[in-house]
Structure 1
Amino acid sequence: MLNRNQVPMGADGYGELKLELLGSWRLCRDGVVVHVATRQQRLIAALAIKGPLLRNYLVGLLWPEYPDSKALESLRVSVHLISRQVPGLIVNEGRMLYLSDDVDVDLRRVRLQARALGGAGLQADPASLLDGLHDAQLLPGWYEDWMMVEQSRLQQDRLRAYVAVASHALAVGDTGTAEAAAEAAVEIEPLYETAVSLLIQAELQHGNPAAALRAYERYRKQLGEDMGLLPSESVSGLLTGPLERRPGLGTERSVPPGHPWLSGQPALDHA
C-alpha cells in the first residue's frame, strides 16, 4: 500500500507523469502518451479534480446507477487496472484514494493562477498569468452532472480572476491589460454587469469611445433578448459623457444626454 511518506515517484522508477484535463484528456509518462480506457479516465479525473476521496463517495459519484456491490467491484477493477498500467499514479490507502502529489496536473496550475489573480494585491504579473487562463475549459464534452458542476466552478474561478485583474489594471492605468481581462470576463458571462462596466471604462480610458459604445450595445441587446431588461443606470451612465462629446459623422449627430438610447434605443439619431 502506498502512502504520502514514500519516496517521490521519479525516484521509484515510475517516471514523470503529466495529466491534462483542459481542452481534452491526455496522460503522459516521460513524454509518452498513456492510453487509458474511458472508465479509468473518469476515476483519474475525479481524483485529480476533487482530491482525496472515500471509496463509498467515489462509487456514488461514478456509478450512481449501480447497486453498491457492483459499483464497489467496478471501482476495485478500475483501481487495479490503473495501478498495473500506470504505477505511481493513484495512492491507495484502503478506504481513501487520491492522486499522487507528484503528478503534474494542468488544472492544479490553472487553479493556482486563478487564486493568484483573484487574491488581494495581485503580487504576480497579471498580464503574464492571463495567458494561462485563456481557453481553460475543463474536459468539454463530458456531460455527467458532477463534471458539469466542476466545469461551471472553473468558469466562475476564471471569471473572478479576470474581473480582479481588470479592476486592478484599471486602477493603475494599465488599460491594455484591463481591456483584455474585461473582454475575457465578458466572453465567459456576457450579462455580468461588473465585467461589462469594466470593459466600457477600459475602452473609455484608452480613448476609444466607439469600442465602449459597441460593448454597451452588445450588452444592451443581449440583456433585452435574454432577460427582457434594460441596462442599469450605473452602466448606461458611463456613456453619458462620451455621447455628449461624440462628433457627428455625416448626417449623424451625437446623442444628447438623457436620450432614450441610453435606455435601449438606437445609438444615433439621423438628421
Structure 2
Amino acid sequence: MDDDGYGELKLDLLGSWRLRQDGVVVHVATRQQRLIAALAIKGPRLRSYLVGLLWPEYPDSKALESLRVSVHLTSRQVPGLIVNEGRLLSLSDRVEVDVNRIREHARTLGQPGTVAGAASLLGELRDAPLLPGWYEDWVVFEQSRLQQDRLQIFTDIAARSLTLGDYGTAGAAAEAAVGIEPLYENAVGLLIRAELQRGNPGAALRAYERYRQQLQGDMGLLPAEPVRELLAPVLERRERVAKERLVPAGDPWLGGKPVLNNF
C-alpha cells in the first residue's frame, strides 16, 4: 500500500474506537472520533449531511463551525486521514477499517479457499459490538444493522462448516447466532445438527428445550415439524427410557400402582 509518507492507518470500531498509525495508537478528542467514525461507516458525505448527523441540536452556523474545526484538528493531527474536497468529505481509502474488512471477508466466505477463514471471522465477530457506549441515534441504527449482519454471518458459517464436516466451528457459529436471536429457527436447527454430528445428543436436546420453552412462553407456539424431526430419535429414546423406568408394583400394599425403577 502506498502510504504517501503518512504511514499505515488502521481504524477499529468493533469493541472500542481506536485509531493506529504505524501500530501506534493515536489519541483524538471525542468530537473528532465521531466525525471519523461517521465517515468510516457512512462513506463520503456532503458537509450538510454530516452537520445534521453529528450536531442535529445545533443551529446550522454553529454546526458548520463545529465540523470545520473538527476537520481542521483531525487533518493537523493525522494528515491524510480525511480527504477534503470542499463540500464533500471522505475518509482516505488508505485507512483500513475493521468493519469494512470483516464485511468483505464475509462476502468472500463461500468462495473456494476460504474455509480456514471461517473460524477466524467467527472469533473476530463473536464479542465485537460496534462502538459500545455510543448512543447517538445514527450509531444505534448502525449497531442494529451490524447485529443483523452478524446473525447472517454466523448462520452462514454454521451452514458452510456443517457441510464441510467442521462440526466444532458449526456448533460455535450456530450458538453465536442463537445468542443474538434465540427464536431464529434456522440457527437453532443448525445448532442441533452440529451437536448431533459431534455425538452430543444431550447438548442437542438442551438446545431444543431452550428453544421450545422460549418459543412457547413468548409466542405460544411449538417448534416447527422440521426442528422436531431433527431430534425424533432422541425424543423417542427419552420417552422409551421414561416408560421403562416405570415398573408394576409387586406388593399388594402398593395397590398395583407403578413405582419408579431407580436402578
TM-score, reference length from structure 2: 0.85
- Offset from partner CA, 1:158-209 (integer Å, 9 cap, x none): 2111111211222333322211211111112111111011111111222211
C-alpha distance in 1 between matches for 2:245 and 2:16: 49
Residue aligning to 1:85? 77
Rg (Cα) greater in structure: 2
Secondary structure in structure 2 of the residue aligned to 1:59: helix
Residue aligning to 1:265? none
- Offset from partner CA, 1:19-42 (integer Å, 9 cap, x none): 111111111222222211111110
Contact 2:102–2:121 under 8 Å retained in 1: no
Residue aligning to 1:17? 9
Residue aligning to 2:88? 96
Contact 1:17–1:30 under 8 Å retained in 2: yes
Root mean square deviation of aligned Cα: 2.3
C-alpha distance in 2 between matches for 1:193 and 1:176: 20
Structure 1 residues 165 and 177, CA, compared in 2 at 3 Å: closer, same or farther?
Answer: same
Structure 1 residues 237 and 142, CA, compared in 2 at 3 Å: closer, same or farther?
Answer: same
Consecutive unaligned residues of structure 1, counting only runs of 5 or more, are 1-6, 254-269
Residue aligning to 2:106? 114
C-alpha distance in 2 between matches for 1:223 and 1:20: 37
Listed as ranges, the matches of 1:165-176 within 5 Å are 165-176=157-168
Residue aligning to 1:199? 191
Q: Does 1:184 align with 2:176?
A: yes
Contact 1:15–1:30 under 8 Å retained in 2: yes
Residue aligning to 1:260? none
Secondary structure in structure 1 of the residue aligned to 2:129: coil
Residue aligning to 2:135? 143
Listed as ranges, the matches of 1:154-165 within 5 Å are 154-165=146-157
C-alpha distance in 2 between matches for 1:28 and 1:188: 30
Residue aligning to 1:261? none
Following superposition, the deviation at residue 139 of structure 1 comes to 0.6
Following superposition, the deviation at residue 122 of structure 1 comes to 5.8
Contact 1:90–1:99 under 8 Å retained in 2: yes
C-alpha distance in 1 between matches for 2:209 and 2:34: 42
Task: Name which of 66, 72, 97 aligns with 1:105.
Answer: 97
Secondary structure in structure 2 of the residue aligned to 1:248: helix
Task: Work out the number of aligned pairs and report it.
Answer: 245
Q: Does 1:58 align with 2:28?
A: no
Contact 1:167–1:178 under 8 Å retained in 2: yes
C-alpha distance in 1 between matches for 2:245 and 2:7: 68
C-alpha distance in 1 between matches for 2:155 and 2:42: 25
Residue aligning to 1:49? 41
Stretches of 4+ moved more than 6 A in 1? none
C-alpha distance in 1 between matches for 2:244 and 2:28: 65
Secondary structure in structure 2 of the residue aligned to 1:49: helix
- Offset from partner CA, 1:61-91 (integer Å, 9 cap, x none): 1111112222111111111111111111100
Residue aligning to 2:227? 235
C-alpha distance in 2 between matches for 1:217 and 1:154: 28
Q: Residue 46 of structure 1 aligns to which amino acid in structure 2? A: A
TM-score, reference length from structure 1: 0.82
Q: Residue 213 of structure 1 aligns to which amino acid in structure 2? A: L
Q: Which moved more, 1:166-175 or 1:150-159?
A: 166-175
- What is the identity percentage for the equivalent residue pairs of Structure 1 and Structure 2? 70
Contact 1:113–1:132 under 8 Å retained in 2: no
Structure 1 residues 226 and 135, CA, compared in 2 at 3 Å: closer, same or farther?
Answer: same
Q: Does 1:124 align with 2:117?
A: no
Contact 1:162–1:181 under 8 Å retained in 2: yes
C-alpha distance in 2 between matches for 1:97 and 1:111: 23
Q: Residue 25 of structure 2 aligns to which amino acid in structure 1? A: V
C-alpha distance in 2 between matches for 1:194 and 1:206: 18
Q: Which moved more, 1:31-40 or 1:223-232?
A: 223-232
C-alpha distance in 2 between matches for 1:90 and 1:115: 27
Listed as ranges, the matches of 1:206-225 within 5 Å are 206-225=198-217
Q: Does 1:35 align with 2:27?
A: yes
